[in-house]
Amino acid sequence: MKVRELVKILDGEVISGEDKLDEDVKSIGAGDMMSEILAFAKPGMMILSAQSSPQSVRTGIVTEILGLVIISGKNIPYQTIEMAKQNNFLLIKTKYYMFSTCGRLYEAGFKGIDEE
Amino acid sequence: MKLQEIIDKLDLKILTNIEDKEVEGVFISDMLSDVMTSAKPDDLWLTVQTHTNTVSAVNLIDMAAMVVTQGKVVPQNTIELANRYHVVILSTPYTTFELATKLVGIGLKAT
Amino acid sequence: MQEEKCSHSWKMVNIAYGFVITEKCYQTDKVATYFTFEHKPPLEEYREGDHFWNVMESAQSFRFDLKCTKCGLITTFNELMGLMMCTGCDKTCEVDIIREKLASDRTWVYVAFGFLPINERKQLTQEKILILENYFNQRRKSSKSRIKIVSHEIVKNFATCYAEVIKDIDMLCLTAPEGE
């Protein structure tokens, strides 16, 4: 499935990396601890997180994931947005809480990392 | 849905004493701040946190149980504290996202 | 007064995320804490008067107010640094005595603590602590258990206290926290 569909399902707002809307989401992971994300992140993965600090984007860039979805409508600091824009990193925001976000993606057919 | 039914259907491992109860919803977060602001009573809480202070957070909101995902090992002192405070801790080898999808799959509604 | 007549129904509002920084001065052994929205606490020792402050811990935290959904009254909680659950580590501590007394009713005791140094910062009033307690009990909706919140002023010794503090540390570190 494409990033574009994910954005639609989550009523998402694309903050940066608009040119990646037609890329394939290979898998999805969810978490708020950077050390955990670092451990399970894979190239092509979309990560769902409540962590909106610049460290999240930095972790995303290092692990070469496809992009990051900030959940529950959390305010995203400008430093995070700046870092994402400078690196053309795909950053999306959704108002849904984590369980709703996962549920919506699952019902639309997205797979978790275990099913790869 | 009853906690025991969820445990049986998703093969969750029980790490503490258990009392069956009604699960009203699911809350997912690794941040105790988010539990304090947004979790609801009788929620099933999915997290990778295993520190003893998770017991403190579960009790404050009166969540139904916590499920430690990704097969994270729960320290013995967390389990002991949970038993003292009637907090139920479960665990699963699945990732948080995967368990969330399975919960939706057995009928828990994502509001 | 209308406020006194209202049987308040509290809701958490104005939630703002930030960090609680703990600093220590090794010259004077003084410990200070503060809330900041800054993502990067000062990494190097800095001087302030007689003190040379070093960051000991940076925890992710948040600020909030409670608003009554009936009368609209807003109570701010900027003086609250956090909550911790008493686990009964010192039989002679007044918090533990309260805990012991309430445990059979399944009433869990939490300590609301303010910023340090205690005598230099504005602290939560008893009235606000009671509002906080009412808020969490209303939110829990439980008939089986309740919570009781007390002031940190009755904690016998913070240095040896084993209470479980609700805080988020090491969340932004790329290396796993202790024991992994």
Contacts of B101 in chain A (CB under 8 A): 102-103, 105-106, 112
Cβ-count burial C137-156 (b if 16+ within 10 Å, e if not): bebbeeeeebbbbbbbeebb
Contacts of B37 in chain A (CB under 8 A): none
Q: Does the residue B22 lie in any domain?
A: yes
C169 — pLDDT class (breaks 50, 70, 90): confident
Residue type, C160: T
Instruction: Determine the structural domain holding residue A25 and report its residue range.
Output: 3-115
Q: Does the residue C10 lie in any domain?
A: yes
In chain C, % of residues over pLDDT 70: 93
- Least Cα distance to C52 among C31, C36, C38 occurs for C31
- C174 closest CB neighbour out of A38, A54, A77: A38
Q: Does the residue C171 lie in any domain?
A: no
Closest-CA residue in chain A for C174?
A35
Look up the CATH number of the domain holding residue B79: 3.40.1390.20
Instruction: Determine the structural domain holding residue C129 and report its residue range.
Output: 2-165
Q: Does the residue B111 lie in any domain?
A: no
Q: Does the residue B110 lie in any domain?
A: no
Low-confidence spans in chain A with pLDDT less than 70:
111-116
Query: Does residue C179 belong to the interface with chain A, where contact is any CB pair within 8 Å?
Result: no
Q: CA of A17, closest CA in chain B: separation in Å?
A: 23
Question: Which residue spans within chain A are E strands per DSSP?
Answer: 13-16, 27-30, 45-49, 67-70, 90-93
Are A53 and C170 an interchain contact pair (Cβ–Cβ within 8 Å)?
Answer: no
What is the number of structural domains in chain B? 1
Crossing angle for the helix pair C126-140 and B53-61, nearest 10 degrees? 80
pLDDT of residue A104: 95
Are C85 and B55 an interchain contact pair (Cβ–Cβ within 8 Å)?
Answer: yes
Express each pLDDT in B84-110 by its tens digit: 999 999 999 999 999 999 999 999 987
Express each pLDDT in C7-47 by its tens digit: 999 999 999 999 999 999 999 989 999 999 887 767 788 99
Instruction: Determine the structural domain holding residue B52 and report its residue range.
Output: 3-105
What is the interface pTM, i.e. ipTM, of the complex?
A: 0.94
pLDDT at C177 over 70: no
- A102 closest CB neighbour out of B25, B28, B34: B28
Query: How many beta-carbon pairs below 8 A join chains A and B?
Result: 81
Look up the CATH number of the domain holding residue A97: 3.40.1390.20
In chain C, % of residues over pLDDT 90: 65
For the four alpha carbons of B25, B79, B68 and A72, in that order, the dihedral sign comes to: positive
Express each pLDDT in B25-78 by its tens digit: 999 999 999 999 999 999 999 999 999 999 999 999 999 999 999 999 999 999
C180 — pLDDT class (breaks 50, 70, 90): very low
Going by their DSSP bridges, the two strands B25-28 and C10-25 should be labelled as unpaired
User: Which residues pair with residue C35 across a beta bridge?
Assistant: C20
What is the number of structural domains in chain C? 1
Q: Does the residue B37 lie in any domain?
A: yes
Q: Does the residue B49 lie in any domain?
A: yes
C4 — pLDDT class (breaks 50, 70, 90): low
Express each pLDDT in C38-53 by its tens digit: 877 677 889 988 899 9
What is the number of structural domains in chain A? 1
Integer-rounded Cα Rg, in Å, for chain A is 12
Are C172 and A79 an interchain contact pair (Cβ–Cβ within 8 Å)?
Answer: no
